[in-house]
Amino acid sequence: MIKQTVVEALDFDRSVIKVREELDKALLSAPKAVRSQTAHLSGTKGKMIRAISLLACAENNQGLIEPDAVRLAVSIELLHLATLVHDDVIDDAEMRRGMPTLHKKFGSHSAVISGDYLFCMALKTASCATQKNEYLDYDLPDYMGRVCLGELRQNMNNRNYDLSEYGYLKIIFGKTAALFEAAFYAGSMLCENEKKQANLCTRLGRFIGMIFQLSDDCIDYESSQDEALKPVLSDFEHGVVTLPLVYTFKKNTQLRERAKRGEVLKEEIHEAVRQAGGVPYTRSVSKKYYDKSKSIINRLNAHPDKKERLTAILNKAYNGLDGVGIG
pLDDT of 279 reads: 96
Q: Which of 211 and 223 is assigned the larger pLDDT?
A: 211
pLDDT at 257: 97
- Could you read off the pLDDT of 107-116 as tens digits, one per residue? 999 999 999 9
Overall average pLDDT of the 118-146 stretch: 76
Average pLDDT of span 229-236: 65
pLDDT (average), residues 226-232: 50
Q: What does DSSP assign to residue 1? A: -
Reported as a single tens digit per residue, the pLDDT across 168-196 is 999 999 999 999 999 999 998 888 666 67
The pLDDT assigned to 137 comes to: 55
Domain with residue 284: its CATH number is 1.10.600.10
Q: CA-CA distance, 116 to 101, in Å (whole number)?
A: 16
Position 4 in a domain: no
pLDDT computed for residue 58 by the predictor: 94
Of the two residues 220 and 73, the one the predictor is more confident about is 73
In a domain, 304, yes or no: yes
User: Within a domain: residue 1?
Assistant: no
* 25 burial level (CB within 10 Å; 0-12, 13-18, 19+): middle
Instruction: Give the mean pLDDT of 311-317.
Output: 96
Cα angle 281, 286, 289 (rounded to 5 degrees) comes to 140
Taking only the tens place, the pLDDT of each residue in 7-48 is 578 999 999 999 999 999 999 999 999 999 999 998 877 789
Within-domain flag for 93: yes
Of residues 251 and 230, more confidently modeled: 251
Q: Choose between 142 and 162: higher pLDDT.
A: 162
Residue 223 in domain: yes
pLDDT tens for 79-91 read 999 999 988 888 8
From the CB of residue 217, how many other CB atoms can be counted at a distance below 10 Å?
A: 27
- Mean pLDDT, rounded, of the chain: 88
pLDDT of 3 above 50: no
Q: How many domains does the chain have?
A: 1
How many CB atoms are closer than 10 A to CB 260?
14
pTM above 0.75, yes or no: yes
Is residue 327 one of the residues assigned to a domain? no
H runs (alpha helix) in the chain: 12-28, 32-42, 49-58, 67-91, 102-106, 108-127, 140-156, 165-175, 177-189, 198-222, 225-228, 243-251, 253-260, 266-276, 278-299, 304-319
For position 138, what pLDDT does the model report?
60
Give 238-293 pLDDT, tens digit per residue. Answer: 899 999 999 999 999 999 999 999 999 888 999 999 999 999 999 999 999 999 99
Q: Which residue has the higher pLDDT, 161 or 1?
A: 161
Residue 103 has a CB neighbour count (10 Å cut-off) of 24
Question: Does position 222 have pLDDT exceeding 90, yes or no?
Answer: no
pLDDT at 136 over 70: no
Banded model confidence at residue 6, pLDDT cuts 50, 70, 90:
very low
Whether 193 is in a domain gets the answer: yes
Q: Residue 318 falls within a domain, yes or no?
A: yes
- Domain hosting 207: range is 10-322
Helix 49-58 to helix 198-222 angle, to the nearest 10 degrees? 160
